[in-house]
Amino acid sequence: MHSVIPSVIPGIVSGLFKRLTGRRAVGSRRASNSRPSRSQRGFVLVEALVALAIMGSATAATLASLSTGTLLTSRTALRGTADWLATSQANLVHEAPFQATPGTYANVTTPTDFVIANATSAIIGGDDQIQAVTITVTYQGLVLLTMEVLKADR
């Protein structure tokens, strides 16, 4: 079995080369009827065009999936940064002295293109000593996250 495979491979390679180029491979024997007909040459051209179309479609699909993956990764990174900023701001509000409503608390420092804002509001029907603090994180003008926390003067 092992001795048959090496003797068959050169014939296959030579046959493929001949079908694709219309010429015989170097060192191969010429058969008496070795010139391909016009219809065979046209058929090889059609096969090559179909193969190119399939490879082009596969390449386009691969690039589209890479683009989608990159976009999702960057959105996830932005969301993670927004979550971290909002949580840091909530901790800063929790530790800060109580501010009168309406008002604001100091903001944490943010990375470039991020803006964080906070505003206090009274709770309807509630105690004056408890307020809602709304924290908003934006990136290049787009609101990424809005969080509301409660602050008590106790």
Higher-confidence position of 19 and 142: 142
In a domain, 56, yes or no: yes
Q: Which of 141, 145, 132 is nearest to 85 (CA)?
A: 145
pLDDT in tens, 41-100: 667 788 889 999 999 999 999 999 999 989 899 999 999 999 999 999 999 999 999 998
In a domain, 137, yes or no: yes
In a domain, 72, yes or no: no
Looking at the fold, whether 82 and 148 belong to one and the same domain comes out as: yes
pLDDT in tens, 94-140: 999 999 889 999 999 999 999 999 999 998 877 888 999 999 999 99
Higher-confidence position of 8 and 52: 52
Looking at the fold, whether 114 and 56 belong to one and the same domain comes out as: no
pLDDT at 4 over 50: no
Looking at the fold, whether 120 and 141 belong to one and the same domain comes out as: yes
pLDDT at 1: 46
What predicted TM-score, i.e. pTM, was given to this entire model?
A: 0.60
Looking at the fold, whether 148 and 124 belong to one and the same domain comes out as: yes
In a domain, 136, yes or no: yes
Q: Domain count of the chain?
A: 2
Measure the CA dihedral 6/12/15/21, to 10°. Answer: -100
DSSP-assigned states of every residue in 42-76: HHHHHHHHHHHHHHHHHHHHHHHHHHHHHHHHHHH
pLDDT at 77: 94
> Which of 48, 67, 86 finishes a domain?
67
pLDDT in tens, 18-39: 666 666 555 555 555 566 666 6
φ/ψ of 125, rounded to 5, equals 70, 15
In a domain, 73, yes or no: no
Looking at the fold, whether 105 and 129 belong to one and the same domain comes out as: yes
pLDDT at 134: 97
Q: Which residue has the tokens 């709770």?
A: 123
In a domain, 40, yes or no: yes
Looking at the fold, whether 39 and 86 belong to one and the same domain comes out as: no
Host domain of residue 137:
78-152
Neighbours of 49 (CB within 10 A): 10
> Which of 67, 87, 114 finishes a domain?
67
